[in-house]
A and B are shown apart, each in its own frame.
Chain A
Amino acid sequence: MEIEWHPLFRRWFEELCKTTDEIAADVMALLNALEQYGTALGDPESHPVVTSQCRLRSLRRTPPTEVTPHATTPPVIRVLYGFVDDGAQIKAVALLAGDKTISKSRWYPPAVQEAERRLVSLSGRKGWTIRKLYVPT
């Protein structure tokens, strides 16, 4: 599945690349898995955002992982994404990401709200239709 990056998500990722190789690599691996598995990508790497009107999903990386079994430190990375139809195919759109370590579940409401604004505005600009896919988990 093709992945579109919202320009603001790209800016964040470019910042991240300047900050840490490891976490940037983790985020890229998640996006690569989304590219590879598409709508079939499920737990523990992807989970639906239940409060999302656009049925956004969230890519996740929560330590400790098998790669970092002893990690007790942040970050707890979340990448919000949605699906669109460009007339020829269904694509995923990476929208907004961050570390929810400090704010925990309070990270979601403002992030989901902004991610949905980004999905709506980008889809309008590109002529895509937002697809609220039911995706089995």
Chain B
Amino acid sequence: MAKGRIPVDSARVDETEISDEEYEATATSQGDLRAELLTRPAARARYEQTLAEINRHQATLGQVRRARALAQATIAELTGMNQSEVSKLERRSDLLISTLRKFIEATGGELHLVANYPEGSIELCVPWGPSGADDDDDVLPIDVRDGASA
């Protein structure tokens, strides 16, 4: 089936007849045709594989932030970094898990670490970073806060 030739679209919009009905369907085409396509097992399997690959490329920190319409300055404020640090962080090829956790939480998410093994998956605890980090308010353990308010 994959051997079929890709159709060539050489239609000129100013020389082609297009019905009103076709013009009305522009906003619903994607949903309709996706539902139709995914009823075919071969198409569905390939669609899921390709989408997973695309997500691996696209779900970078900068993309995640932009997709949630947040500015680097907002992340900087929420994490106690300055904007240039956030900018560098988004380009970094490696980083502390605690820094990643702060970033994800600043975008309104929750970080989970999952290790997949042939026998199954295990969720690891997410390190909280060095104690005595700059903004101590946020790293004080709960019981100390309780003690202080009692």
A residues near B (Cβ < 8 Å) are 2-17, 19-26, 28-33, 35-45, 61, 65-67, 74-75, 77, 93-94, 96-99, 114, 117-118, 121-122, 125-126, 136
Contacts and interface: CB of A to CB of B under 8 A. Distances in A.
Given A17-B33, A28-B33, A96 B50 contact: no
Interface of B: 1-14, 16, 18, 22-23, 25-27, 29-30, 33-34, 36-38, 40, 42-47, 49-51, 53-58, 62-63, 66-67
A30 B54 contact: yes
Given A29-B51, A33-B54, A23 B18 contact: no
Contacts of B3: 20
A67 B30 contact: no
A5 B26 contact: yes
Main secondary structure of the interface of A (DSSP, over half): helix
A61 B63 CA distance: 19
A96 B9 contact: yes
Given A28-B33, A32-B51, A65-B53, A98 B5 contact: no
Nearest to B2: A22
Given A29-B47, A33-B51, A33-B58, A38 B67 contact: yes
